[in-house]
Amino acid sequence: MKFFNQLFQNDETWSIDRQWYFRIVEFILMLQLIYYSWSWGYYIQHLSTVVLPLGLANYIDVSVLFHHNYSLILAILATVTALLGFFRIKPWMYAFSLLFFHLIYISRFSQGEISHGANMLGVAIMSLAVATFSFKNEGQIQKFAWGMIIFLIGFSYTSAAFCKLIGTGFNWADGQHLWLWMHELATDRLSENGSFSFNFFQEFLFRHHWLATIVLLSGWIVEFLGITLWFNKLRPYIATLLIGLHVGIYLSMRINFVDNFGVMLVMIGYPWHHLIHQIREKYSGTFRNLRFSRFFSLFISDR
């Protein structure tokens, strides 16, 4: 029972401040979903054929979305259903948001190169879809969705560490592998932009095999510890290490996961509800007198 309380908080620990913060996080997730839906929707209109089918694209032909603005229609549907879910007009609409978002994703990345940047967003929307479909009470929706998000993100990091072991073994952390990947990335950037130069950190890694090995090994260890996100006391520390992991990936490989994975880790990794509590205590009179406070109370548990 104690373990599950680390993820799915009980009524005593799920305070009004946690509820306010959850709504802030949910709002950010909704904005991200809308942004990606529209930016990818426009991009899809320039595609002509499916090179690498993903997800449902293995069973349906998503190339029909490449024409007649169908992808933009999906973006509209994803936006509307996300808004209906967020404002709890029809909470279960998050399930349709997830479906439309998935169709847009598999269409956008059907060209042979897969982006992992929005994976955490997909996991979060799926958690909201399951929570809003399974519960009616706002407090239960929030507690279940929050716990599921943290559980799946922690599990995804640890499973990634095991995948490296299964695919390559402990030799995966050999610094020569990092050299190879940096050279492959340089070739991709050179063909894409016509020019490329390694940064100072990359040049330093090329000169020191031992350091390249330590970078890979430390990254693997941090990934392996991903499931410690499940525990309240350890969460801020492992979140900081995981953010550092993505900064290291950016410095060594020029792959930017910080604006996606980093944002999610910042949101779930630290007890921001304590800050909200301090703000509410300091400006309690102001909050009490705001006319729209009744509107926000619609999204707070009535338990």
Residue length, the chain? 303
Boundaries of domain holding 273: 154-284
End-to-end distance of the chain based on CA atoms, in angstroms? 21
pLDDT, position 299: 59
Give the number of other CB atoms < 10 A from CB of residue 93.
Answer: 22
Which domain-ending residue is among 85, 105, 134?
134
CA 287 to chain centre: 31
Same structural domain, 40 and 129: yes
Tell me: do 175 and 97 sit in the same domain. Answer: no
Nearest to 94 by CA among 122, 64, 70: 122
Residue 264 lies in a domain: yes
Q: How far apart are CA 175 and CA 65, in angstroms?
A: 42
Q: Does residue 278 share a domain with residue 160?
A: yes
Answer whether residue 46 is part of any domain.
yes
Q: Are residues 42 and 108 in the same domain?
A: yes
Q: For 84-133, write each residue's pLDDT tens digit.
A: 999 999 999 999 999 999 999 999 999 987 878 789 999 999 999 999 99
- Residue 160 inside a domain? The answer is yes
Residue 294 lies in a domain: no
Considering the domain architecture, whether residues 104 and 206 belong to the same structural domain is answered as no
Sign of the dihedral defined by the CA atoms of residues 230, 232, 233, 239, in that order:
positive
Does 120 lie in the same domain as 50?
A: yes
Asked if residue 303 belongs to a domain, the reply is no
Same domain, 185 and 112: no
Are 160 and 97 contained in the same domain? Answer: no
Question: Rounded to the nearest 5°, which phi and psi values hold at 59?
Answer: -120, -20
Shared domain for 127 and 22, answered yes or no, is yes
- At which of 134, 163, 196 does a domain end? 134
Digitized pLDDT (tens) for each residue of the chain, 303 residues in all: 677 777 887 777 788 999 999 999 999 999 999 999 999 999 999 999 999 999 999 999 999 999 999 999 999 999 999 999 999 999 999 999 999 999 999 999 999 878 787 899 999 999 999 999 999 999 999 999 999 999 999 999 999 999 999 999 989 999 999 999 999 989 988 887 888 899 999 999 999 999 999 999 999 999 999 999 999 999 999 999 999 999 999 999 988 887 788 899 999 999 999 998 898 888 776 656 555 455 555 556 654
When divided into structural domains, the chain yields a total of: 2
149 occurs within a structural domain: no
pLDDT at 282: 81
Residues 164 and 266 in one domain: yes
Q: Is residue 2 part of a domain?
A: no
Assess if residue 227 is contained within a domain. Answer: yes
